[in-house]
Amino acid sequence: MPPPPIPHEADPVVLLSNKSRRAAGLVAGVTVWLAVATGSMMTPISASEANPLRIVTFGTSLTARGGWQEPLAAGLERCLAMPVEVLTVAKSGANSDWGVEAIDQVIAMKPQFVTVEFAANDAALHRGMWLSRSQSNMRTIVRRLQDALPGVKIILMTMNPLHGPRALVRPFLGTYYDTYQALSKELGVGFIDHRAVWNGLTAGELKEAIPDGAHPIASKAAPLIVPAMIRAIGGDRCP
């Protein structure tokens, strides 16, 4: 018998701007792959007080409740020496079907960078999101962004592991995460695999960092995932 569905919070869509005054820690071991086609690590980044570098973080509750956007903005402002604005379009319980519906909200913000993550909810058995449909949705999201925002840099991301009942209803989460790397190469966009740093934690540390089995505490997540994001967006200016 399959495990019962795990209820998700009925959070509204989060549309937040985060500017940080706090630093994120440096942690090694994250896979960061950026296609040459994106130019993410080669194209000069320019911004001004009136037009800051704008990043949209797009995804599930792992983005909506992540709490890492503020340290991301602070770290980039520090190494790039320019204003950085991090906006969030995300919803608890959302999968890539919602992502396709919400993409116009991201486009309207006219970002230079967009991070995307929907695999954790696409992989939930009770949602009936087959891998092929998840892949198709992600292709649609990327292509619509590219068509509407020429030059936008898109980064697909895997997120944290899950444990307990939330992991049981996602037995193939690793496969959904793996497909993001394949899609990044196929579509010529960036990819950050956060799994390595999370897998470096002991079982006890993992439970402490993710007490509900799915949503990391912001103070634990930010030092693990922000450094790789800063490197991917800032390039050589943010080693």
> What are the residue ranges spanned by the domains of the chain?
14-237
Q: Is the pLDDT of residue 230 over 60?
A: yes
Q: Is the pLDDT of residue 102 over 50?
A: yes
Query: What whole-number distance in Å separates Cα of residue 74 and Cα of residue 238?
Result: 12
Determine the CATH number of domain 14-237.
3.40.50.1110
- Nearest of 123, 116, 85 to residue 6 by alpha carbon: 123
Query: What whole-number distance in Å separates Cα of residue 78 and Cα of residue 140?
Result: 34
Q: What tens digit of pLDDT does each residue of 150-186 get?
A: 999 999 999 999 999 999 999 999 999 999 999 999 9
8 Å CB contact between 122 and 129? yes
Residue 73: C-alpha distances to residues 4, 22, 202, 218 (Å):
38, 9, 29, 15
Q: Please tell me the pTM assigned to this model.
A: 0.83
